[in-house]
Amino acid sequence: MERAAASWDAAGIEPVRSGPNWGSVGSGRGHSVVQLPALTLPNPVFPFVANLPATATSPSFMRQVNVAILGGGTVGGGVVEGLGRNGALMASRLGVQFRVNHVVVRDPKKVRDFEVDPRLVSTDWRRAVSDPETHIVVELVGGMTTARELVLAALRAGKPVVTANKALLSAHGEELFAAARERGTCLYYEASVAGGIPIIKVLREALVGNRITRLYGILNGTCNYILTRMQSERAEFAEILADAQKLGYAEADPALDVDGHDALHKTGILASLAHGFWVDVDDASVEGIRQVTPLDMEFAGRLGYTIKLLGVIKTMDASAPDKAKSSPRKGKVRGGMRVSMVVCPTLVPNRHVMASVAGVFNAVYVRGDVVGDTLYYGRGAGRSATASAVLSDLADAAHDLKSGPHLRVPPFASHEEDGALIPAGEVVSAHYLRLSVTDRPGVLARVATILARNQIGISSVIQPEGHEGGSVPLILMLHDAPRSAVDRALAGIRRLPVVAGEPALFRVETFD
Ligand SMILES: NC(=O)c1ccc[n+]([C@@H]2O[C@H](COP(=O)([O-])OP(=O)(O)OC[C@H]3O[C@@H](n4cnc5c(N)ncnc54)[C@H](OP(=O)(O)O)[C@@H]3O)[C@@H](O)[C@H]2O)c1
C-alpha cells in the first residue's frame, strides 16, 4: 500500500515565497491571515541558543503547512485564534508557517466568535480532507459518527490528523491508530486528555524510560468544580450542578461528565498509552458523583479526607501472575501486564497534593519506576487550554511531515499485547461506607458481623448521637478488600431492617 509522504517536498509542502517579512501568506483563494513580523529562523545547530536573522534567501527554510480545521466551535475557534495570535512565534520557532485553508462547520450562517475569512468556511468536510493543498486535518467536530468517518478518510489519504475527541479515541482508537500506521502517518491527540496539560507528551516521550506503576487523574473539570463547591458550601449536588450549568461549567445534559464517562474515556486513553495494550473501558468500573452528599463531604473532612472524582490506574503486584490467566478477557490469552483501572468518587487524604486541586482544574499524578512521583496541573478544558494542546500537536505533525513519524516514539506503541485489565470485582481498595440506620443498640454489631463474614475489617467508625428509634448516619472506614467482597457485604447490609435508604460507598486512596 502507498505510504504517506515523509519529507516536505514529498508532502507537497512549498517553501514560503512571500516577501522578506513573510507578511502575506496564502494562495490567494482566501486564508486565515497570520501577519508575521520580521522573523528570525531557528538556529539549525543550537535552536535553543540563538536565532538566525531572516535573509533574502531564507524563504527556502520556511515552509507553509496548510491546515483544515473541521469544527469551528469552542475548540476550533480557539485554534484559529491561537494561530492568529501566535502563528508568527510558532513560525520563528519551527520554521513552519501554518495557514488555515478550510474551516468546516454544520451551519455556515452562524455568527462565529472568532475572525475567519468567510470564503474558507464550508460544510463539506470531504472536500476539505481531499483538497491536495490540505496537509494536516484537525478534527474538532466531536461525536462519533462523522468524526470517525472523516478521521479515517484523512488517515487513509495519508494525512496526519489532530483530534481532541476522547470519546472517539476511547471507542475506536485501536482502529484509528491501525489506519494511521498502515499509511505511515500519525494521529495526534494531546487535546483529548486534560486539555492544556501536556500529559500525552509526558507519557509518550518524557517518561518513555519508565514503567508507569501508578497514575491518578482528576480529569473532569465539571465534576471537580461541583465537588469543590459542595465541600466549601456544604451544598447539595443538584443545587451546585444547576449553578454550574448557569455559569457554563456544565452542559445542559451533564450525564457524560457527572456520571464519570468523560473521565473514564480519558483514563482509558492514559492507561492504553502507559501500558501498551488497548484498554477497553467497558471492562473498567465507573461511578459518577451524583450520590455524593454534603454529609459525605462533612464526614470525609472529619476523617481527614477530601472527595474527588479520581481516575486510578495501577499495575498489579508482579507476584500474582497466575491469577491473570484465570481472568481471560474477550478470548485473549492472558499472562502479561495486569492493570487495574477505576473511575469513581474517592476519598483523598488532605495531606496529599491531589486534595488541593480545586475548581475546574485538572491534575495528573504519575509514578514511574525510574523517576518516582511527578505531578502535572492545569486547565483541563476550555477554549484556550484545549487549543494550546492542538497547537502543540500541529507543531509535531508539521515536523513529522518533514522527517516522517517513524523517527519519533509512536503515538500509541502496543508493547504489551498480552496485557489486560483485571475485572472490576478483583480491584482491591479501602472504602468509606455511609449507612442510614435506626438509632438502637446492636446495629453496629450486626453490620460488623456481615462485614466480617466477607473478610472485611473496619478501621474506624463515626456514629453521631441521634434520637432513640430515629435514623442516624453510621460511617465506617473499611480496610483493603476486593470490590466483589464489599458488594456482597453491602447486599447483606441493605437487607437489614435497621438500614434505611441507599448506602453510600466510596473508595479511599492511600497513594501507596
Ligand atoms: N470544549 C472543550 O473545552 C473541550 C476540551 C477538550 C476536548 N474537547 C473536544 O473537542 C471536540 C470539539 O469540542 P467543542 O467544545 O469545540 O464542540 P462544539 O463547540 O460543539 O463545536 C463543534 C463544531 O463542529 C461543527 N460540527 C458538528 N457536527 C458537524 C458535522 N457533521 N459537519 C460539520 N461540522 C460539524 C459544529 O458546527 P456549528 O458551529 O455550525 O454547529 C461546531 O462548529 C469534542 O470532541 C470535545 O470532546 C472539547
CB 264 within 8 A of CB 311: yes
Across the range 439-455, mean pLDDT stands at 95
- Element holding 81 (H helix, E strand): helix 74-94
pLDDT in tens, 378-428: 999 999 999 999 999 999 999 999 887 777 888 887 777 678 899 999 999
C-alpha to C-alpha distances, 160 to 146, 181, 482, nearest whole angstrom: 17, 11, 43
Region of 179 please: left (phi>0), alpha (psi -120 to 50) or beta. alpha
Report residue 307: phi and psi, to 5°.
-95, 125
- Name the active-site residue from 159, 166, 266, 402: 266
Is the predicted pLDDT of residue 4 greater than 80, yes or no? Answer: no
Domains of the chain: 40-196+385-407 (3.40.50.720), 203-379 (3.30.360.10), 427-508 (3.30.70.260)
Residue 266 appears among annotated catalytic residues? yes
CB atoms within 10 A of CB 205: 12
Across the range 333-353, mean pLDDT stands at 89
pTM assigned to the model: 0.88
Q: Is the CB of 226 under 6 A from ligand 1?
A: no
Amino acid at 89: L
Separation CA 357–CA 350 (nearest Å): 11
Across the range 140-162, mean pLDDT stands at 97
Match 486564508 to its residue by C-alpha cell: 31
Taking each helix axis from N to C end, the angle separating 294-302 and 221-233, rounded to the nearest 10 degrees, works out to 70
Cα–ligand 1 centroid distance for 121 (angstroms): 15
- Element holding 479 (H helix, E strand): strand 471-482
Across the range 136-158, mean pLDDT stands at 97
The secondary structure of 406-423 as a DSSP string is: GGS--SS----TT-EEPP
Closest CA to 279 of 315, 317, 323: 315
pLDDT in tens, 201-251: 999 999 999 999 999 999 999 999 999 999 999 999 999 999 999 998 998
Q: What does the pLDDT read at residue 67?
A: 98
Taking each helix axis from N to C end, the angle separating 237-247 and 221-233, rounded to the nearest 10 degrees, works out to 130
Cα–ligand 1 centroid distance for 198 (angstroms): 21
Closest CA to 402 of 55, 3, 10: 10
Helix ranges (H only) for 288-354 are 294-302, 321-325
Across the range 31-60, mean pLDDT stands at 41
Residue nearest to atom 34 of ligand 1 (CA): 105
Region of 150 please: left (phi>0), alpha (psi -120 to 50) or beta. alpha
Q: In sequence order, what are the residues at sequence separation of 6 or more whose Cβ sits closer than 8 angstroms to the Cβ of residue 149?
A: none
Q: Is the CB of 76 under 6 A from ligand 1?
A: yes
Amino acid at 208: V
Q: Is the CB of 15 under 6 A from ligand 1?
A: no
